[in-house]
Structures are given as structure tokens and as C-alpha cells.
Amino acid sequence: MSLFSPPNQNPNFGTSLMTLIMAFILQSHSQSQHQPSWSKKPGSLKRCKTAPAMAVMRDLKPKTPQVPKPQSESSSIIRQAVFLLSIYLILGVVIYSFNRDEFSGIETHPVVDALYFCIVTMCTIGYGDIAPLTPATKIFACVFVLVGFGFIDILLSGVVNYVLDLQENMILTGIQMEKSQQGFSARDYIVDVDKGRMRIRLKVGLALGVVVLCIGIGSLILYFVESLDWVDSIYLSVMSVTTVGYGDRAFKTLPGRLFAGVWLLISTLAVARAFLYLAEARVNKRHRRIAKWVLHRDITIEDLLAADINNNGFISKSEYVIYKLKEMGKVREKDILQICNQFSKLDTNNSGKITLPDLLKYQM
């Protein structure tokens, strides 16, 4: 009989086949031992013929298009902010210029006064030196200031964040290039290089530094251009950047209003960002305190029962991690349920794991 005849006709088929396989393995092992290690070329490994063809797998197209990963929208927000802000200011300047008699206040130049009025209105400062008189201009002012709130939000979330992110990336790049591998330096106190971000205390310090710089520049301009004394210069500068604007002091000269058009917009945004960073610092401090308490407290029977998701009488490592993250407030029950539902869709056989056939079946 032939060696490769069907098993029911050759009872020694299994024994002969195993003998051939063992001989092939021993021969391959002997050749690999006699072959010097230096003779192996990198990249000489070849794919097993029984392995899945990855080229064929890549050609498989999913039934639904893949959802793209969310990208940073800072650049698009900046373009939108510049475009919409230009339209906003041009519209305000045109309406003010053609209705100058319906506004009260000291006049310097029609375009400069209009731009100054638009910036003061958008930043919600309200000096009161230029104010609408007629019902039509008052309605225009109401709409103008409400729309201005939207631009402040766009500028605050887009432009300011983009500039601060650039500064943060530059600082992190410089520190990573110069970081030594030994000891703890002062830069480690303000920058978390491992996480790739500045610590919140540095962000607060930079934001407050920008606020102090804006107040200082405004005080100097008010002192030398508007001819105010030092006390009134600092007073008006602080009242302006904090958008209080009592109205007892204001910019009255042409150069002063030109400067105010740019300075008020930058300084008010910087102050708003500084207060947001202060609030973020307090929230982060509270989160760190809660996390420290969660990690150092002893687990109780109630914790074991609550963390036992599978109800099998013990806690696995994954269940323990999920329970601690929930206790720290880093994840919510709703988020976990959504992830579990997504896993159930991929696990078509309800085997508790996702295999390659399951993934291919889901994509077909």
C-alpha cells in the first residue's frame, strides 16, 4: 500500500506521518545549530504559508466607513474667528459712521471712534463715553453686544488656546532636548515632561504674568498719551482689563483710542484665560486629593461586592482598576456601559474575547 493512501486503508498512516514530521523538525534544528549567528541576515524571516494573508485582509473594506479620529480645530477656529471678527467690526464701523449724530461722546475720528466703540462693546467694558441716543441705535447696541459674546467665546477658546499651546510646545521641546537623566531639577517642578504638558501652576503663572504685563503697558500709555497721573492710569488700566468700566475715566485722544482697540481685546482675553486657569488649578488640586484618598484607603466588603461586576465572588485586576477609576471620578458608569456595548457588538460569539474571525465578520 502507498504511504499516502487514506487512513482507513493504511493503519500506519498516522505513525508514518508523525515520523516524517519529527525527522523534518530534527533536521531543521540541526541546520540552525550549525549555521553561524552572524550569517543570518536581518529581514530573512518569511511568513508561514498557513498564516493569514494580511494583504487580503487590508483589501477587505468595512461595510461602514471608519469614523475619523477627532483632530485639533485650533487652526480652523482661528480662520473663522478672523473672518467673522472682520465682518463684525466692519459692520459696526459702517453703522456707526452713518449714524454719528445718534451717538453721544467726544469725537476724534469717525473710523477710529467706530472701531473703539465696537471693541468696548464687544468686550463688555462699557465706559459710557460713547453711548447710543435713539431707539434704533439702542436696539443695534443690544444686538451688537449679544453677538459680541459669541466672538469672545470663539476667540477665547480658539486663538488664545492656540497661542498658549504653541508656547507650551516650545517650552516642552526645549526641556526635552536639554533634560538630564539624573536627579530632580527645578524644571521638573513646573513641567511634566513624561506626560508632555506643562503643570497647571506654570500655566497660571504665565497667564497672570500676561495680565500684569497688559496692566503695565496700559498704565504707561494712559500716563504718557492720555496725560493721567499714575494712580488714575493704573486705576483705569485695571478697570479696563477686568471689564468693570465705571465710566469716570476713558480714552479720549485719537492715539489712545487706536491703542485701546488692540489692547482691550488682548488684555480682556488674557484676564479671562487667567481666571479659567485658576479655576482649573483648584479643580485639579481637588482631584489629586480625592485620588490620593482612594488609593490609600483599605478596601471593604462593600467595595468587593460593588466591584464584582461578574458576580463570581472575587475581584479581577480589571474589575479593581475600573472600580478605582470610577471612585476617583475619572470614568462614569455610562462610559463603561457604552464600551461594553461596543465590545458585545464585536464579540459575535459571546466568547468574552475578540478574535480575528470576529473582527473580519464584523467588518464584512
Q: Cell numbers for 12, please give them.
A: 500506519
pLDDT tier for residue 33 given thresholds of 50, 70 and 90: very low
User: For residues 10 and 295, which has the higher predicted lDDT (pLDDT)?
Assistant: 295
- At what angle are helices 74-97 and 160-178 packed, to 10 degrees? 140
Task: For residues 72 and 162, give the distance between their C-alpha atoms in angstroms, rounded to a whole number.
Answer: 10
Q: What is the DSSP string of 14-81?
A: HHHHHHHHHHHHHHHHHHHHHS-GGGPPTT-----TTS--HHHHHHPPPSSPPPPPP---HHHHHHHH
- Region 49-67: mean pLDDT is 50
pLDDT score for 57: 46
User: For residues 281 and 37, which has the higher predicted lDDT (pLDDT)?
Assistant: 281
> DSSP secondary-structure letter at 9?
T
- Region 88-92: mean pLDDT is 90
User: Can you name the CATH fold of 74-176+195-289?
Assistant: Helix Hairpins (1.10.287)
- Region 79-91: mean pLDDT is 84
Most confident of 131-135, 190-194, 285-289: 131-135
pLDDT score for 215: 95
Task: For residues 261 and 109, give the distance between their C-alpha atoms in angstroms, rounded to a whole number.
Answer: 13
pLDDT tier for residue 37 given thresholds of 50, 70 and 90: very low
| pTM over cut 0.85 | no
Question: For the chain, where do the domains classified as CATH 1.10.287.70 start and end?
Answer: 74-176+195-289
Q: Cell numbers for 327, please give them.
A: 471612585
By three-state DSSP, how is residue 247 classified?
Answer: coil
Q: Cell numbers for 107, please give them.
A: 469725537
Residue 233 above 60 pLDDT? yes
pLDDT score for 206: 78
Task: For residues 4 and 9, give the distance between their C-alpha atoms in angstroms, rounded to a whole number.
Answer: 10
Mean pLDDT rounded to a whole number for the chain: 75
pLDDT score for 245: 84
From residue 352, how far is each of 305, 337, 341 by CA, in Å?
A: 22, 15, 12
Q: What is the pLDDT of residues 128-157, one digit of tens each?
A: 889 999 999 999 989 888 888 777 766 666
Q: What is the pLDDT of residues 169-186, one digit of tens each?
A: 666 566 556 555 545 454
> DSSP secondary-structure letter at 38?
G
